[in-house]
Amino acid sequence: MKILVIGFLSVIVLGAVLLWLPVSNEKPISFLDALFTSTTSVCVTGLVTVVPKYQFTIMGKIILLILIQIGGLGIIACITAFFMLLKRKITVKERIVIQEAYNMNSLGGLVGMVRRILFGTLVVEGIGAVFYAIQFSRDYGLVKGIWYGVFHSVSAFCNAGIDILGEDSLARYVTSPLINITTMMLIILGGIGFTVWYDVIDNGKKIWYREIPKKWCFTRLKLHSKIAIVTTLILLIAGTLLNFVLEYRNPETIGNLNTGQKIMASAFQAVTTRTAGFSTFQQSGMHEETGFLNIILMFIGGSPGGTAGGLKTTTFALLFLAFHTMLRGGHDIECFQRKVAEDSFRVAFVTFMLALGIYVTGTTVIAVIEPDTISLQKIMYETASAMATVGLTQDLTTHLRVGSKIVLMILMYAGRVGPMTIALLFAGKVNLQEKMRTLPTEKIMIG
């Protein structure tokens, strides 16, 4: 736990110093803005107080790219990759750290898992860069088009949402199927989680070699993978439909597009709220009800074990299943013919309460700091975006006061490291005697 917390913090500070150097900037930058940019990069959020295209030199943009990649893969994966390059043996203690970072059940095959994650990441980002470069080369020339392709592929896969195109993110490409589909696929693949990736791939291989029948392709997946995939699909479909209906006639968002383009823009919005941060229309132009819908989608976020932030799909699904079980008078939480471990529900509930507490606290503090002219809904949107490491903003980030920017940095850091990780770090060790004792049970009145 300490390695995760201290590791991310160390990279953020180092990144801030590097981004603060004159060689990284086209014009002077304050250390606060450099620190904010480093935080949003390492925490793969996307909220920015400066425009990267105009603020940073090529050196600064390369530093940004490296920080995003480290933040997306995670400190543990990057350290492990460094050790593998040096051909250094991974100790048992280090394997335990990797196990905790990726929520693995055993110490076996951990290094192989990290190796597969690194290889898979490079392959997917490489393919994404090629598709991006096809469009960007037409618009910016071959060399710049390839560079833009690499940068935005890494940013999309890592769910960072930081771009070097200007002030309007991907707004100029709102009608481009190539850019929209490429970005959405990269975001989904990065946000679904590496463990889901390889569970699907391993089962796909068994079907290919006819070790199992095709009809078992879903049933043979682990429960975690099933929940992550189904919840992701439900949220994406529901998000697309609701964004489409609510914004259909809004000229400030998708109102001026044809039906096909409206569907594509609505789908993109549903995907990007899953912690990516790219946008194809002005977020400040959407209706209030759409804003609240997107706050919920951002708060839920992506899946564990990947590049996404937020509460996580599995946590949300588990809370919903527990609610459903309670309403029908059941005792055990069941899903896909499996009983969910009670410990999983406890962790999900505590994670939800911690995330909600951090979100409400952050929103309240910023509301106190900022003038009354800024609506509460905009502040709620901003804090949800920061805590869930999304990066969408209703044109508020650059106008915030110093205190509010510091609060956003804390929210981004807490969102990337994880509320539970921070809580466990400060909780201390549980006394074994206290853990083993059993007290008399007594019911209390509820409701």
- Nearest-CA neighbor of 140 among 186, 177, 174, 179? 179
Position 333 scores a pLDDT of 84
Structure token digits, residue 389: 């490491």
Mean pLDDT of 348-368: 94
The CA distance from 372 to 376, in Å, is 9
pLDDT digits (tens, 9 = 90+) for 200-222: 888 888 877 777 777 667 778 88
The CA distance from 435 to 122, in Å, is 44
Structure token digits, residue 282: 């002005």
The CA distance from 178 to 168, in Å, is 18
pLDDT digits (tens, 9 = 90+) for 87-145: 777 776 666 666 666 666 666 667 777 888 888 999 999 999 999 999 999 999 999 99
58 band by pLDDT with thresholds 50, 70 and 90:
very high
Who contacts 229 (Cβ-Cβ below 8 Å, separation ≥6)? 192, 196, 221
- Nearest-CA neighbor of 51 among 382, 371, 370, 393? 393
| Amino acid at site 361 | T
Of 77-91, 115-129, 427-441, give the range with the top mean pLDDT.
Answer: 115-129
The CA distance from 293 to 264, in Å, is 18
User: Mean pLDDT for the chain?
Assistant: 88
Whole-number percent of the chain with pLDDT over 90: 59
Least confident of 118-127, 246-255, 326-335: 326-335
- Residue with the larger pLDDT of the pair 126 and 275: 126
Cβ count near 314 (within 10 Å): 22
- Residue with the larger pLDDT of the pair 243 and 446: 243
